[in-house]
């Protein structure tokens, strides 16, 4: 893997860890669907108060709200292109990739295990080099996102 490529991937992973956090809260014995429904209901009752703090939702609130944003705030459906831009798939072996946060080394497998991770896609020169989704997510999962570059 060339140096430039490693630098870009390391920065991407570090920024993702900074956003999602390596030590986020533990799950309770309740199912995630039950928790998500309860959080969504609470957020629906507080939607006016949440507008200013949506960027600062905790992990539980993000999980419940970001996949259901249309239930909390007005949204618009944007029609897809009749001629979408095509990307090729050129998967790379990322098994040796490591990165450091706060002097602790992590692998890509570690990154996938962080509770806040929903997915990771790496695109370079019109090619998908990596595309992986967390449990319960897929290319068709709706998920509100902000800057993810």
**Would you state the pLDDT for residue 47?**
60
Q: Any idea where the domains of the chain sit in the sequence?
A: 3-22+30-133
**Would you state the pLDDT for residue 48?**
62
- The tens place of each residue's pLDDT in the chain, 149 residues long, gives 555 555 455 545 444 444 444 334 344 444 456 657 777 777 776 666 666 677 788 888 887 788 888 887 788 888 989 999 999 999 999 999 999 999 999 998 898 888 778 888 999 999 999 999 888 788 888 887 776 65
**Would you state the pLDDT for residue 105?**
95
**Would you state the pLDDT for residue 56?**
81
**Would you state the pLDDT for residue 18?**
41
DSSP string for residues in 68-135: SHHHHS---PPPPPSSPPP-EE-----TT-EEEETTEEEEHHHHHHSTT--EEEEEETTEEEEEEE-T
Residue whose C-alpha is closest to residue 43's, from 31, 28, 35? 35
**Would you state the pLDDT for residue 145?**
74
pTM, full prediction: 0.60
Q: C-alpha distances in angstroms, 122 versus 35, 110, 130?
A: 31, 17, 5
């Amino acid at each position: 893997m060339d140096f430039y490529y490693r630098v870009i991937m390391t920065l991407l992973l570090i920024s993702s860890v900074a956003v999602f956090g390596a030590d986020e809260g533990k799950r309770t014995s309740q199912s995630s669907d039950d928790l998500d429904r309860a959080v969504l209901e609470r957020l629906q009752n507080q939607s006016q108060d949440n507008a200013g703090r949506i960027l600062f939702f905790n992990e539980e609130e993000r999980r419940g709200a970001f996949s259901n944003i249309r239930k909390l705030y007005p949204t618009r459906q944007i029609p897809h292109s009749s001629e979408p831009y095509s990307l090729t798939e050129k998967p790379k072996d990322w098994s040796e990739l490591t990165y450091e946060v706060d002097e602790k080394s992590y692998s890509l497998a570690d990154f996938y295990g962080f509770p806040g991770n929903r997915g990771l896609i790496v695109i370079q020169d019109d090619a998908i080099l990596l595309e992986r989704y967390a449990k319960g997510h897929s290319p068709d999962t709706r998920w509100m996102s902000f800057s993810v570059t």
